[in-house]
Chains A and B, each alone.
Chain A
């Protein structure tokens, strides 16, 4: 089991950041790596159990299922059902915490998964930096340009 943890500070109120990221179908709006996304079976995108089916800009397709969504804790949990990344038992958590000093947002994005040992390091880097940090970077840009 590998654990990847990435955290950052977004210069916007936690409610504003949460309003953007709580939409499980909203990745193309803010994540630079995602080309398009839809929710399978026409479910609402904040119903636990819904599956988002999205296409990466580099062509791969990923299916992820929403496992938990809390508007109280500003946190969502999801798992990967299918992906070209070669990971198993992948569960990720995206959580926001208000920073009272400066009205900013502390954002944490973590994942646990299994992978062949020879690929652990590479995957941890790709996910921690390529997916999570890249997402934080574009959130910073998104809110910097309001």
Chain B
């Protein structure tokens, strides 16, 4: 029995390499020796048992059968059924492994077979060099040239197409009545861009600040929305971490998410792991990234710290409560109703305080033996400012990341000094501006979801056309958890 082993390093993430190799009929697109290939019968090219029937450029004719395929282990095995080359009992295995150092891929290709006496060396050489080594080089070229491994569903469409989207457009700054639902054209993705068919769009308070004209991040008419999830339609050149058909999500600093389709910079879009649904991704990415930087970057929450979470039953609040609890903190939260207190408690808030009028400092002091909290996550702003100041312990950290109840909290330096307080005014998009950091943050969020340490709470769903109603509900403080628009 002859054995041939070849291995190589491919300078692309394992998901991208596997997306090509798992398709048993893809080799005529990337292997230089393969002239044409088809799958027999009506089977799909990832169905174990399917047979690929192909010709090599030298005229050889080969039929091979897929024996195993594992998306978890990145392994496939196949054998030759018939061939005009004298390889008998040929069984080959392709194995990919992740190179965590640099996000590349190790590709191991091995086979065993019998050869006619006298021709062993020739055939071992042929398989090793003309099939495996040529294949490594062919796939590298295929990935480098930006060739797209298209899933069957996207094969019929050309990448150059303009496509039409339904979108929620802000006509001028003001109330929710300034939003209208209309058709817009979406360009094909250029270099380093990706086009996403969006199925779920997240609603965040920042959308309301922008709509009112408080954050001048758009010039009307403009589409609102910072986050969405869906399926990649097509990718431009020089995009290496996403493929058509991938489930993907983003929280991006340029508004435009309230739409069924969007083209945007690929480095702001992350692939969603298979264990996370697109609803969950859209409901949680922006808020999850916010919780990630609040708890790990703006302040590294430590076990035993007392933390105060304002709007503890809000989209960000519920995530911050769960995550802070997981990190071992003692979690105190403010909410406006008993119902919200119940939900907050169910998501890791040890001591929810119902304070519709923002009177909570006495209760916080009582809950901490008179000491106050080490850190406050303040998404409320000035109406709660005095009480927040009172609730903080000496040397505490005041993190003002939002102002849903009024203008942002600000702190007179004199008063800051009286308690040696630290004040932070973080903005998510400053933390996510570097793609590497964004990916690390998103990976941590998805990991927390997959481990069930973070449970998304989708309080209300609206259709995309009803975005105005979603804004009204959020502004009336009626909602619990995340709000989704379904596109």
- Cα separation A115 to B74 with both chains bound (whole Å): 29
> Contact: A101 with B8, CB < 8 Å?
yes
Contacts of A98 in B (CB 8 A): 7
> Contact: A101 with B7, CB < 8 Å?
yes
> Contact: B100 with A101, CB < 8 Å?
no
- Cα separation A133 to B100 with both chains bound (whole Å): 9
> Contact: B100 with A5, CB < 8 Å?
yes
Check if A59 is an interface residue, CB within 8 A of chain B. no
Q: What is the distance, in angstroms, from A77's C-beta to the closest C-beta of chain B?
A: 18
Q: What is the distance, in angstroms, from A123's C-beta to the closest C-beta of chain B?
A: 14
Binary B-proximity of A19-35 (CB < 8 A = 1, otherwise 0): 00000000000000000
Check if A108 is an interface residue, CB within 8 A of chain B. yes
SS class, residues of chain B in contact with chain A: strand
> Contact: A8 with B101, CB < 8 Å?
yes
Contacts of B100 in A (CB 8 A): 5-8, 128, 133
Contacts of B5 in A (CB 8 A): 100
Check if A99 is an interface residue, CB within 8 A of chain B. yes
A102: contacting residue among B9, B101, B108, B328, CB under 8 A: B9
A106: contacting residue among B7, B136, B303, CB under 8 A: B7
Within 8 A of A (CB), among B283-340: 303, 326-328
- Cα separation A5 to B7 with both chains bound (whole Å): 20
> Contact: B136 with A97, CB < 8 Å?
no
Contacts of A104 in B (CB 8 A): 9
B106: contacting residue among A6, A97, A117, A136, CB under 8 A: A97
**A interface, how many residues as a size bin?**
10 to 19
B133: contacting residue among A101, A106, A128, A133, CB under 8 A: A101
Check if B355 is an interface residue, CB within 8 A of chain A. no
Contacts of B6 in A (CB 8 A): 100-101
- Cα separation A108 to B101 with both chains bound (whole Å): 10
Within 8 A of A (CB), among B58-110: 97-102, 104, 106, 108
A6, A99, A104, A136 — most chain B CB neighbours (10 Å): A99
- Cα separation A104 to B9 with both chains bound (whole Å): 9
**Which residue in chain A gives the minimum CB-CB distance to B8?**
A101
> Contact: A7 with B7, CB < 8 Å?
no
Q: Contacts A6-B100, A99-B106 given: A118-B9 contact, CB under 8 Å? A: no
Contacts of A128 in B (CB 8 A): 100
Binary B-proximity of A114-133 (CB < 8 A = 1, otherwise 0): 00011000000000100001
Contacts of B104 in A (CB 8 A): 9
12 contacts between A and B (CB under 8 A): A5-B100, A6-B101, A9-B9, A9-B101, A101-B8, A102-B8, A106-B9, A106-B99, A108-B97, A118-B303, A133-B101, A136-B101
For the complex with contacts A6-B101, A97-B108, A98-B7, 13 further pairs of A-B residues with Cβ separation under 8 Å are A5-B100, A7-B100, A9-B101, A97-B106, A99-B7, A99-B9, A100-B5, A101-B7, A101-B133, A101-B136, A106-B7, A118-B327, A128-B100
